[in-house]
Amino acid sequence: MGKGFVIGLTGGLGTGKTSVALILQALGLKMISADHIGHQLLKPGTDVYEGVKAAFGPEILRGDGQIDRTALGKIVFQDPAERQRLNTLTHPAIIARIKAEVEELRRRGEDVVVEIPLFFEAKMTKEEAGVDEIWVVTTSPATQLARVMARDGVDQEEARRRMAAQLSLGEKVDRADVVVYNEGKQAELKKEVQKLLMARKRAHKNPFDA
């Protein structure tokens, strides 16, 4: 069985990373979500859960003992120091889990897309994540702002604050191996992703064909 090829997918809030990941999944790639792994690691009983609970206190817990991600989000979005504290507690475990899952899928000859929203913010490398190249999903500032406001149900000021908590899209695009522009409709995005995927197949001499 051949060696699988792995795409690390990232971008900014509201750019459509998950939409691109799902398109790639529909085109045959296995999908790993860093956010999903993060959710799993924040469940009661994990070392990450215990560390976050100790660091942020009982006010971030729901009545059933689960971490209230909304309450935690309000704390970390408003304070860079608190955000860094959370990242220090969660990122190493998330990176380790991603790499383990990637290695297993690659061993089986699968082609993979790993959605990692904070790839650059976490100062990850392709080697650490086990990916072959980084795809960045981007859009115009106005479209990004509108999407974040609609998706998160927040006003313009809060949306801008959340966007400012991440590296700018321009910085991410500059560091990308492949850039996916998501300004139009879903059908247009699908055509763009298909075109880019075919180009990468040719560039890598069909690494997707195990």
Per-residue model confidence as pLDDT tens for the chain (210 residues): 346 789 999 999 999 999 999 999 999 999 999 999 999 999 999 999 999 999 999 999 999 999 998 899 889 888 889 988 999 999 999 999 999 999 999 889 899 999 999 899 888 899 988 899 999 999 999 999 999 999 989 899 989 988 988 899 999 999 999 999 999 889 999 999 999 998 887 776 654 554
Contact of 177 with 6, CB cutoff 8 Å: no
CA 49, CA 154: separation in Å to the nearest integer? 27
pLDDT of residue 128: 86
DSSP letter for each residue of 97-110: HHHHHHHHHHHTT-
Buried b (16+ CB within 10 A) or exposed e, 195-207: ebbeebeeeeeeb
**pTM confidence score:** 0.85
Q: Cβ(102)–Cβ(144) under 8 Å?
A: no
CATH code assigned to 6-201 = 3.40.50.300
Contacts of residue 39, defined as CB under 8 A and 6 or more positions apart, other chains included, come to 69
pLDDT of 206 reads 52
Q: Determine the pLDDT at residue 204.
A: 67
Tell me the C-alpha distance between 21 and 8, whole Å: 10
What residue ranges do the domains of the chain occupy?
A: 6-201
- Tokens matching residue 58: 């009982």
**How much is the pLDDT for 1?**
37
pLDDT at 205: 60
Bridge-based pairing state of the strands 30-33 and 112-115? parallel
**Which pLDDT does position 74 carry in this prediction?**
85
